[in-house]
Amino acid sequence: MSSQPRTASEGTPAPWWRVPFVWMVIGGPLTVVVAGFATLAIAIAYPDPVIAVQPTGNAADQPAVQARNHAATPKP
């Protein structure tokens, strides 16, 4: 018993492009590749702006700044 589908009239194997499962296997990754290129085109066309952070020297920000610095470079 063969695993390839057969045509109804002849009993010969169907060509690969007539097997629906082949198109599912090809179509899934192809869709992902096309979506990736679409995402790349959007990212190139509309880049995110760079936000400049200026230190304010505000005393209310100091605990957050110290915690951030400690998380980045913890002291033993």
pLDDT at site 49: 87
- Over residues 12-61, the pLDDT tens digits come to 888 988 999 999 999 999 999 999 999 999 999 999 888 777 666 666 66
pTM for the full predicted model: 0.51
User: Which of residues 64 and 2 earns the better pLDDT score?
Assistant: 64
pLDDT at site 75: 64
pLDDT at site 8: 55
Of 46, 26, 23, nearest to 34 by C-alpha is 26
